[in-house]
Amino acid sequence: MADLRFGIVGWGYWGPKIARNLDSLSHASVGMVADLDTHRLASIVVNQPWIQTTTQVEDLLNSDLDGIVIATPVQTHYRLAKAALLAGKHVLVEKPLTASVEEAEELVALAKEMRRVLMVGHTFEYSPAVNELRKLVQSGDLGKIYCVEAERVNLGLFRRDINVIWDLAPHDVSILLYLFGKMPEQVKVQAHAHLQASIHDIAHLDLEFADGMTAHVHVSWLHPCKIRRVTVIGDARMVVYDDTNPAEMVKVYNKGADVHADPVVSYRFGAITIPHIDWIEPLRLECEDFVSSILNERQPRAHAGVGLAVVKVLAAAQKALEEQQRSETEMATVAL
Amino acid sequence: MADLRFGIVGWGYWGPKIARNLDSLSHASVGMVADLDTHRLASIVVNQPWIQTTTQVEDLLNSDLDGIVIATPVQTHYRLAKAALLAGKHVLVEKPLTASVEEAEELVALAKEMRRVLMVGHTFEYSPAVNELRKLVQSGDLGKIYCVEAERVNLGLFRRDINVIWDLAPHDVSILLYLFGKMPEQVKVQAHAHLQASIHDIAHLDLEFADGMTAHVHVSWLHPCKIRRVTVIGDARMVVYDDTNPAEMVKVYNKGADVHADPVVSYRFGAITIPHIDWIEPLRLECEDFVSSILNERQPRAHAGVGLAVVKVLAAAQKALEEQQRSETEMATVAL
Amino acid sequence: MADLRFGIVGWGYWGPKIARNLDSLSHASVGMVADLDTHRLASIVVNQPWIQTTTQVEDLLNSDLDGIVIATPVQTHYRLAKAALLAGKHVLVEKPLTASVEEAEELVALAKEMRRVLMVGHTFEYSPAVNELRKLVQSGDLGKIYCVEAERVNLGLFRRDINVIWDLAPHDVSILLYLFGKMPEQVKVQAHAHLQASIHDIAHLDLEFADGMTAHVHVSWLHPCKIRRVTVIGDARMVVYDDTNPAEMVKVYNKGADVHADPVVSYRFGAITIPHIDWIEPLRLECEDFVSSILNERQPRAHAGVGLAVVKVLAAAQKALEEQQRSETEMATVAL
Amino acid sequence: MADLRFGIVGWGYWGPKIARNLDSLSHASVGMVADLDTHRLASIVVNQPWIQTTTQVEDLLNSDLDGIVIATPVQTHYRLAKAALLAGKHVLVEKPLTASVEEAEELVALAKEMRRVLMVGHTFEYSPAVNELRKLVQSGDLGKIYCVEAERVNLGLFRRDINVIWDLAPHDVSILLYLFGKMPEQVKVQAHAHLQASIHDIAHLDLEFADGMTAHVHVSWLHPCKIRRVTVIGDARMVVYDDTNPAEMVKVYNKGADVHADPVVSYRFGAITIPHIDWIEPLRLECEDFVSSILNERQPRAHAGVGLAVVKVLAAAQKALEEQQRSETEMATVAL
């Protein structure tokens, strides 16, 4: 089977990681890297001289590369992904897919038209822990799901181009959509901009689903501790997925409360179970899925439709935030 | 100095605890206990036969007791506290002080008129850990405070008479008012009723203060883990107060981010410090303050004015919740 | 059923705790307390005036009390227990039972002769967590037990009358004997006296059993952290019992290694399970067992024979320690 | 400055890690790799075709490589290092340096004679956390050091060629020697072979130093949890270094006990401090030191003399273990 050759646009945080993973696969290699900043490209020139470097993205578009990875700021995703698809390339875009719903919809349609794989880097869909959690949810072991609490907080990294919702919430929203396979009906937001005048650094998203399930997503750049936690609360069992605790990533609590006809709530307390999870780096599985989707002409797990759904939720949150700011003292807000 | 004698109304969870603490003080003793349920009183009859028991609260009002502790459901606080004050008794009421702002205001005025101590059981104002945190805030060591994140979640205990805001948030609101000595200007709420039709069991309160400080309070009866945590985030230092970790209750993080004129954020990472805290049971300190306030004719720390302020915030949250429910799809909410 | 009345000798750390628990039982009450230090007795005079106090242990021996609790320094256990048994009293002695094997053997025989209950305060035999662990061991779920690692360390409390082996190891030795129901064949010791010239404050005991099982006990007064942990390592499963972690006291690891005929070791990694444990204060269960043994004329779980076995192990450790000090450079020790 | 070129002997666990680090340095590159197993070499052939591979160590000895890294089983260290030194190469040997004191002494002398760098891979000497701990020890902030407790346990990896003392204790012994810069006078051992007949898988080493300081090292392949912890106990402060907790690797406890002339022990309880540690991969620093030592013709931190000292302690432990097994019932051991 002939090897697939890939180009990377953007040599910042994600670019080198994706390149390393693609390179480690049997049927893939990295052939070209583009970045506007030649300083970033210097280490490639020294350590991996067989990889071509350029500051012109056109060099990748005009090449015979099979696929292009776009690991640049979100505002450029639409333009670059569109150009790559039009050039006949398969495309992996970092999350979020685009900066607006319209852009995402156009890319989804274009990829279909061009018969090319368009994938978005929702890495957590490839996390063995998230997949263990999904298995628990979908097996019915947790019972009816009441709600989910997601937290993703840390000190920084503060972004200057997007707020914390667009920076961190894509992870949690993609996890929610992947776990439950359904879209929320409503999104509410409480958010604050403490450090930079107009860029919110703390946000609480509240999602409601048609069946009564709710989800709360807390994202923040302003917190002393690194917390990466998703708690799924069912009427039969409750699960905590803590991405910062490798030895106990998924913890299943066999406990709950039952409301009875008469005014009595009873409580159940059973064992906690921590399943063993065979760990594989999610980014490697993501890269494998990208390559395999191209070779087998099928949709990857994190296909562009998933990316569009995530952007819809983020855009709704952004809109809620802006509307709220326009009418601070009304609705959902009470002055003391 | 003559001993003060106290009566307790309500022999449920808090009644016996307060009685034990009052009894352990030098100048105080418990003389009478009232509860509508004689089964609850049985253990007193057997183990502490020298304490008088009754199902009639009038027996306490008509006695020569110096003070009365009201440890009953919140709906009864106003009526019982008013009767006790009118009977010339000093009064300690469990939190929250009353079920409405009007009731609280009336009690504050009445206590002043009757020249009696009216105190509310905001126990956390007496916690050595909270006081350590307050010292840190007020010393300026934390710098300008950006925001606070408070969490108080656990499985149950589900209440049938009040929602989770009135049950758990009094603790966090009283801590916030005590730490910062200022009232929020606005309260927003995201809340859900999962287990019982109209009693919200999960709530997220978002408070905004005049100076830009914000606070978020997450209270829930639907969570697998017991979390009791308040994180105070200043521009100089950040502090986590974790009430469930006796060995490391207050953790001071010397870290932060600074925004500069040009588009650069820089980060500071220094040591974590965990001050040693000499532990004394907060309820004991609360009881001491009650007794000492009576003996010295002064206001206790958790005086009725504090109780009123807390009720104002809770009532604002309740109002925000109800208004939001009336207009779900508008403002601060975006349908997808 | 007539109530049993008890006397307590020694009103230090354990005396009041045992008294409170005995008093809370249906068929028991505390009638008299003796201590040489009248200051210690003062709080009884004030708060529990119905309990008789004395500095003369003879007052208890000559009374009509049914049983006597001996909560005094270990050197006095033998003399006081003997006197109490001879006076026809049932006796509960704090651990360790005596300061020597001979004393313990004499007490065991005397109790039998007098037909009185002689019990020793090995509280951990009544811990719900230890009993959960014992159930796991005895069910065979853990497979063949290779070894046990026990740790009991903290800063202080430094004793002036006994070393750390006699102070802390009684707990771990009694847990080991209770879990496995067999005596070790050999005891080795590594111990050091850092703070007080001749009183060892750190000790490592190494026990070997006839069937190849080994156990290691680390006790210390010189450690910054409070650790109370027993790890049981079987060829099928491994268990960590951590007495300082109430939410996860017993953790069962379904993991292990298997040696095969050819030079290959294979590893198994399965789930971790944390059974739910209904918590009851062990001291309360111990007091119940004492009372019930008297009423039903049967042996308590922690009967004097158990106390004797524990003293045998402690005395062997002490002997090993002393022999080692006499011949430091020989055997088991290599000078560099 | 001309680049140094290195060869690696042994492409197992450490070989590729050291190669990656050497390759990332400015003045170093890997030119050749030898392993007896050609399967292991396959990935180099595919992914790094510019590196020469061979099954003959002579190919490295006869090359123009500047230095050779020996990452093979310990029994081969002496022979391979000797050959490499005689061939005029600088040598980095994985720990422990050799399987015997005599071998280590000969290598130390030979390196001196050949004027070549001979370094041993005691990586922990390059750990930023260990260096923070060393700074605390050497500054005198901890006061007089009473004792050290080191633990290094986990499930596996079981070795077939050496016991757990030679496998894991080199880490802790090298840390001890590096922290305190002095050799113990005596070594005692308690060890057991549970899984493989004659290969001890659990060991407790007890070291005594001339000045009264003691150290205890617990190493094991038979434990459900991964523990990597060194506790240093001084009379002024105590420190826990936990290598498995990246956020709180070094924790300084300002607490202690003081013995006074009269029979009173008093306790001090102060703050806990967790210094911020700038993390750099220790193996990278080790490789930098190797390269820099060659370029600057100086001794590396983990020079062969350090390796010899560690082997002396391991050999003493092994001898103590063997002597003890010859006379199990005597000394330091008491049959019950």
pLDDT tens-digit map of B44-77:
887 788 899 999 999 999 999 999 999 999 999 9
Tell me which H or E stretch contains A189: strand A186-192
Pick from D133, D148, D155 the residue to mutate for testing the C interface (most C CBs within 10 Å). Answer: D155
pLDDT 10s digits, B267-310: 999 999 999 999 999 999 999 999 999 999 999 999 999 999 99
Secondary element (H or E) of residue C135: helix C128-139
The architecture (CATH level 2) of B4-124+282-302 comes to 3-Layer(aba) Sandwich (3.40)
For residue B242, give the 3-state DSSP assignment: strand
Contact residues on chain A for C254, CB-CB shorter than 8 A: 276
Coil, helix or strand at residue B288: helix
A107 φψ region: left (φ > 0), alpha (ψ -120 to 50), beta (else) = alpha
pLDDT of residue D252: 98
- Mean pLDDT of all residues belonging to chain A: 94
Answer whether residue A335 shows pLDDT above 80.
Answer: no
Put simply, whether D248 touches B (Cβ < 8 Å) is yes
Residues contacting C264, CB < 8 A, separation 6+ = none
Residue A331 has pLDDT above 60, yes or no: no
- Residue B212: its chain A contacts at CB < 8 A? 194
Cα gap A14→A20, rounded to integer Å: 10
CATH architecture for residues D125-281+316-325:
2-Layer Sandwich (3.30)
Note the pLDDT of residue C323: 87
CATH topology of domain A4-124: Rossmann fold (3.40.50)
Does D329 score more than 50 pLDDT? no
Higher pLDDT, A262 or D325: D325
- The label of the residue with tokens 């300190």 reads B285
Average pLDDT over residues C82-95: 98
Which of A122, A137, A128, A126 minimizes the C-alpha distance to A232?
A137
Cα distance between residue B44 and residue B48, in whole Å: 5
| The one-letter amino acid at D141 | D
pLDDT recorded at residue B2 = 62
> What is the residue extent of each domain of chain D?
4-116, 125-281+316-325
CB D207 within 8 A of CB D147: no
Q: Note the pLDDT of residue C48.
A: 82
Give the bridge partners for C281, in sequence order: none
**Closest residue in chain C to residue D146, using alpha carbons only:** C194
Contacts of C147 in chain D (CB under 8 A): 192, 194, 202, 222
Q: What does the block give as tokens for B193?
A: 């009723």
Confidence of residue A330 (pLDDT cuts 50, 70, 90): very low
Tokens read off for B113: 């008129």
User: Smallest Cα–Cα separation from B106: which of B87, B79, B67?
Assistant: B79
DSSP class of residue D137?
H
Q: With a cut of 60, say whether residue C330 has pLDDT above it.
A: no
- The per-residue pLDDT for C325 is 77
> A234-248, B251-265, D182-196: lowest mean pLDDT where?
B251-265
CB neighbour burial string for D164-183, b if at least 16 within 10 angstroms, e if fewer: bbbbbbbbbbbbbbbbbeee
The arithmetic mean of pLDDT across residues C160-181, rounded, is 97
Encode pLDDT of A194-210 as tens digits: 999 889 999 999 999 99
What integer is the mean pLDDT of D271-279? 97
Are B201 and B193 a contacting pair, CB within 8 Å? yes
Nearest CA to D204 out of D30, D84, D88, D332 is that of D332
If you average pLDDT over residues A63-89, what whole number do you get? 98
- The reply to whether residue D269 touches residue B248, judged by beta carbons under 8 angstroms, is no
**By the 8 A CB rule, do B259 and B265 touch?**
yes
Interface of D with A in 168-227 (CB under 8 A): 225-226
Chain mean pLDDT for chain B? 94
**B104 in reach of chain A (CB within 8 A):** no
For residue C112, the surrounding DSSP H or E stretch is helix C101-114
Read off the pLDDT of residues B167-204 as tens digits, 9 standing for 90 and up: 999 999 999 999 999 999 999 999 999 999 889 999 99
- Residue A260's pLDDT is 78
D332: confidence class by pLDDT, cuts 50, 70, 90 = very low
| C-alpha distances out from residue D15 to C21, C185, D28, D41, D170, Å | 63, 45, 15, 11, 18
HSE (side-chain half, CA atoms, 13 Å) at D239:
27
Amino acid at A327: S
pLDDT score recorded for residue B263: 65
Of the partner residues D272, D275, D276, the one whose CB lies closest to the CB of residue B274: D272
Nearest to B147 by CA among C168, A200, C69: A200
* Residue A89, CA atoms < 13 Å, CB-side half-sphere: 29
| CATH superfamily of the A128-281+316-325 domain | Dihydrodipicolinate Reductase; domain 2 (3.30.360.10)
C-chain residues near B47 (CB < 8 A)? 23
C246 touches chain B (CB under 8 A): no
In the sheet that holds C67-70, the strands lie side by side as: C52-54, C28-34, C4-9, C67-70, C90-93, C118-120
Contact D23 A226 (CB under 8 A): no
Q: Give the helix, strand, coil percentages of chain A, each rounded to 5.
A: 40, 30, 30
pLDDT score for C262: 64
- Which residues of chain B neighbour A202 with C-beta distances below 8 Å? 147, 214, 216
Model confidence at A334, in pLDDT bands (50, 70, 90)? Answer: low
Whether B276 and chain D come into contact, CB under 8 Å, resolves to: yes
SS3 D259: strand
Decide if C77 contacts C314 (C-beta within 8 A).
no
Residue C332 is predicted with a pLDDT of: 47
pLDDT of residue C3: 87
Q: Which residue from D minimizes the CA distance to A28?
A: D47
Average pLDDT over residues C249-277: 91
Say what the pLDDT of residue D263 is: 64
Q: How many CB atoms lie within 10 A of CB A305?
A: 16
Give A269's contacts in chain C (Cβ within 8 Å): 276
Cβ distance B316 to A334 less than 8 Å, yes or no, reads yes
B137-157 in b/e form (b: 16+ CB < 10 A) is: beeeebeebbbbbbbbbbbbe
Both structure tokens of C291? 């009372």
CB atoms closer than 10 angstroms to residue C269: 13
Up-side HSE of residue B118: CA atoms within 13 Å toward CB?
32
| Inter-chain CB proximity C271 and A269 less than 8 Å | no
- In chain A, residues 47-66 whose CB comes closer than 8 Å to chain D: 47
Q: Which pLDDT score, from 0 to 100, does residue D49 have?
A: 82
Does residue A302 carry a pLDDT above 90? yes
- Taking an 8 Å cut-off on Cβ atoms, the answer to whether A224 and B255 are in contact is yes
CB-based contact D273 B274, cutoff 8 Å:
yes
Which pLDDT tens digit goes with each residue over B145-157? Answer: 999 999 999 998 8
Q: Give residues with Cβ within 8 angstroms of D326, minimum separation 6.
A: none
User: Are B201 and B221 in contact, with CB atoms under 8 Å apart?
Assistant: yes
Tell me the three state secondary structure of residue D91: strand
The CATH H-level (homologous superfamily) assignment of domain C127-281+316-325 is Dihydrodipicolinate Reductase; domain 2 (3.30.360.10)
Whole-number Å distance between alpha carbons of B260 and B280: 44
Q: How far is C4 from chain D (nearest CA, A)?
A: 39
Stated pTM of the model:
0.94
Burial track D7-41 (b if 16+ CB lie within 10 A, e otherwise): bbbbbeebbbbbbebbeebeebbbbbbbbeeeebb
The per-residue DSSP string of C251-292 comes to EEEEEEEEE-SSS-EEEEEEEEEE-------HHHHHHHHHHH
In contact, B119 and B287? CB cutoff 8 Å: no
pLDDT of residue B324: 79
Fold adopted by B127-280+316-325: Dihydrodipicolinate Reductase; domain 2 (3.30.360)
D4-116 CATH fold: Rossmann fold (3.40.50)
**ipTM, interface predicted TM-score of the complex:** 0.93
| d(C-alpha C275, C-alpha B186), whole Å | 45
